[in-house]
């Protein structure tokens, strides 16, 4: 019995170590790295297809493919850790996406979508930040639609801060909001310098539930609209998603360059 355990032991331990290392790698839990964590959030998933394009493309698939491409590009830079709120076709409620980013200590939260609008002629990318009041009727409708993703979960967002914490929380929120606004400007600038199609007034805001992390700068990117033939056709192409991801990566690079103070060389303590 003991012999058998000894024989089985090392192999079992080795396989456990391998599987937990693989798991850690998959989840990005490489704790030795102090690199900031970028949390990418492919919209919708599982029972929630998101918008269904004029030719039948599911938003959830386009969002995941684009997020995976952006992760690839960000990781190639070697400056960030990158995680996805969902790496496959599963449903995650909106507030859980926020919770994942908070639990993992994300420095940045980027939700990626390609929704539908009532007006099928509207096309181009746009970037959204959180606000109590919507910048325009179209964005208010978009936020309602996005927030309705939680009808699949049957839960509501309840975010009531106690009185004492409220003042401190609001200071953090102000800083978070200015960080979010800065990222939104970078993204719009990057899309525009790439000569990509942009919505009129491409930087917009509304009460998106998924952007409600008080302490993590958060933006939602509509890479285009499934309700528009040309946008849908473009988003189906890997080449186009690569271009979008490249523009987003440049914006994220610029954001971190402005945000993160230069790191001092690590000093080693003797002993």
Residue (197 or 215) nearer to Zn ion, CB: 197
- 113 lines the binding site for Zn ion (CB under 5 A): yes
CB of 256 to Zn ion, least distance (A): 25
Q: Name the one range near Zn ion by CB under 5 A: 50-58, 70-78, 123-131, 208-216.
A: 50-58
Among 69, 115, 150, 232, which residue interacts with Zn ion (rule: CB under 5 A)? 115
Q: Which is nearer to Zn ion, 86 or 113 (CB)?
A: 113
Nearer to Zn ion, 49 or 189 (CB): 49
Q: Does 50 bind Zn ion (CB under 5 A)?
A: yes
How many residues bind Zn ion (CB under 5 A)? The answer is: 4
* Residue 224 sits in the site that holds Zn ion (CB under 5 A): no
Out of 28, 42, 43, 45, the only residue in the binding site for Zn ion (CB under 5 A) is: 43
- In the sheet with 198-206, reading across from the earlier edge strand, the strands are 81-84, 37-42, 108-113, 218-222, 125-130, 198-206
Taking contact as CB under 5 A, which single stretch among the options 18-26, 46-54, 164-172, 179-187 is the one that binds Zn ion? 46-54
Q: Is 60 in the site for Zn ion (CB under 5 A)?
A: no
Residue closer to Zn ion (CB basis): 43 or 202: 43
Contact window for Zn ion (CB under 5 A) among 4-12, 42-50, 103-111, 234-242: 42-50
Cβ atoms < 10 Å from Cβ of 57: 20
Contact 78, 72 (CB under 8 A): no
C-alpha span between 197 and 220 (Å, rounded): 17
Question: Cβ 60 to Zn ion, closest distance in Å?
Answer: 8
The answer to whether residues 42 and 67 touch, using CB atoms and an 8 Å cutoff, is yes
CB of 115 to Zn ion, least distance (A): 4
CB of 48 to Zn ion, least distance (A): 9
Q: How far is CA 21 from CA 18, 26, 27, 88, in A?
A: 5, 8, 10, 20
177 CB-near residues (< 8 Å, 6+ apart): 129, 130
Phi-psi region of 258 (alpha: psi -120 to 50; beta: other; left: phi over 0): alpha
Find all residues with CB under 8 Å of 111, minimum gap 6, and list them.
41, 43, 97, 208, 210, 211, 218, 219, 220, 221
In the complex with Zn ion, the residue whose CB is nearer, 107 or 142, is 142
Write out the two tokens for 268.
């080693």
List residues binding Zn ion (CB under 5 A).
Answer: 43, 50, 113, 115
């Amino acid at each position: 019995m003991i012999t058998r355990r000894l024989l089985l032991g090392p192999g079992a331990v080795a396989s456990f170590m391998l599987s937990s290392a693989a798991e850690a790698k998959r989840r990005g839990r490489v704790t030795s790295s102090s690199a900031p964590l970028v949390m990418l959030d492919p919209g919708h998933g599982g029972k929630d297809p998101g918008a269904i394009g004029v030719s039948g493309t599911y938003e959830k698939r386009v969002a995941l493919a684009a997020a995976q491409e952006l992760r690839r590009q960000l990781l190639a830079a070697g400056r960030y850790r990158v995680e996805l709120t969902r790496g496959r076709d599963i449903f995650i409620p909106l507030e859980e996406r926020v919770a994942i980013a908070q639990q993992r200590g994300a420095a940045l939260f980027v939700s990626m979508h390609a929704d539908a609008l009532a007006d099928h002629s509207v096309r181009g990318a746009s970037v959204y930040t959180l606000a109590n009041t919507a910048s325009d009727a179209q964005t208010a409708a978009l936020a309602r639609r996005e927030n309705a993703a939680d009808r699949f979960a049957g839960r509501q967002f309840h975010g009531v801060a106690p009185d004492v914490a409220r003042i401190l929380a609001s200071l953090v929120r102000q800083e978070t909001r200015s960080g979010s606004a800065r990222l939104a400007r970078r993204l719009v600038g990057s899309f525009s310098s790439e000569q990509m199609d942009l919505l009129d007034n491409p930087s917009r805001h509304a009460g998106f539930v998924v952007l409600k992390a008080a302490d993590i700068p958060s933006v939602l990117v509509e890479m285009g609209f499934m309700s528009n033939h040309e946008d849908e056709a473009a988003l189906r192409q890997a080449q186009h998603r690569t271009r979008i991801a490249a523009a987003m990566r440049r914006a994220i690079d610029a954001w971190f360059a402005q945000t993160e103070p230069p790191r001092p060389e690590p000093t080693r303590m003797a002993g």
